[in-house]
Amino acid sequence: MSLSYSILASGSTGNAFYVESENHSFLVDAGFSGKQMETLFQQIGRDISKLSAIFVTHEHSDHIKGIGVLARKYKLPVFANEKTWRAMESSVGEIPTEQKFVFQMESVKSFGSVDIESFGVSHDAAEPMFYIFHHEGKKLVLITDTGYVSDRMKGTISNADVYIFEANHDVQMLRMGKYPWNIKRRILSDVGHVSNEDAALAMSDVIGDRTKRVYLAHLSLDNNMKDLARMSVTQTLASRGIIVGEQFELYDTDAKIPTALTAV
């Protein structure tokens, strides 16, 4: 059996990603309350208590809201790098020491035949990092919450079978929108979030002959729309000679509804 995954929910209001192999299952981030996380798991027919581990990307609340509750209630091991542990300590509350694990940036942890690789991103958090799941020659990349995609990141994430890729905002909507200027500047900065267009430009450099599915994730509630993100990414990719639907498909994610469990 290969790796399967569901984007449980993704957007500026909260993020949670589920991945499983035949013997293990993993949660990356829990940006919702414990109750909401339980509902999301019910919707994909999976059991939180069976999780092998939770991985944390960074300490922003849309990624860690449910971490403490789930860790305590289900006695789950939680992995994060040292700086993230320190930064989220006060928000997640007490987690027993034996459930706290350090997972440094640019390292690999193995659970049976699944290798989980961490890599750094450019975002205004203590030490933000995302994850690549490797299993039987397949590669699933998760990358949101980055102000840009560096050449180093591109090298690490290139030619994956599946991408869960941030398409945070439409630059025009953000500029015209209601956010105060300092927030707009933060989002547009190198340590903010990638726009639809910048996401597509980065995708055009990393999509390879193995790529089958790309999911647009972490859409801003106020500064983006699914159709706009899809159109903008499709057009930008086309301008680089990459045609959606020819070799790979582009999918939406939802801020509240999980994507169906899908094999990589």
Interface residues with Zn ion (CB under 5 A) are: 60, 62, 145
Residue 172: CB minimum distance to Zn ion, A: 21
Q: Which residue is closest to Zn ion by CB? A: 60
Instruction: Give the nearer residue to Zn ion in terms of CB position, either 135 or 193.
Output: 193
Instruction: Give the nearer residue to Zn ion in terms of CB position, either 60 or 184.
Output: 60
Contacts of 102 (CB under 8 A, 6+ apart): 79, 80, 81, 82, 85
Instruction: Give the nearer residue to Zn ion in terms of CB position, either 24 or 218.
Output: 218
Q: How far apart are CA 216 and CA 204, in angstroms?
A: 14
Q: How far apart are CA 180 and CA 3, in angstroms?
A: 42
Residue 47: CB minimum distance to Zn ion, A: 26
Instruction: Give the nearer residue to Zn ion in terms of CB position, either 142 or 206.
Output: 142
Instruction: Give the nearer residue to Zn ion in terms of CB position, either 20 or 62.
Output: 62
| Residue 240 near residue 201, CB atoms below 8 Å | yes
Q: At how many degrees (to 10) do helices 196-206 and 226-239 cross?
A: 40
Q: How far apart are CA 166 and CA 7, in angstroms?
A: 12
Instruction: Give the nearer residue to Zn ion in terms of CB position, either 31 or 135.
Output: 31
Task: Compute φ and ψ for 198, nearest 5 degrees.
Answer: -65, -35
DSSP string computed for 120-136: E---SSSS-EEEEEEET
Instruction: Give the nearer residue to Zn ion in terms of CB position, either 62 or 198.
Output: 62
Q: Are strands 14-20 and 25-28 parallel, antiparallel or unpaired?
A: antiparallel
Q: How far apart are CA 17 and CA 112, in angstroms?
A: 20
Residue 30: CB minimum distance to Zn ion, A: 12
In DSSP terms, 215 is beta-bridged to 164, 251
Residue 177: CB minimum distance to Zn ion, A: 18
Place of tokens 């989980």: 116
Residue 14: CB minimum distance to Zn ion, A: 8
Residue 32: CB minimum distance to Zn ion, A: 12
Residue 168: CB minimum distance to Zn ion, A: 8
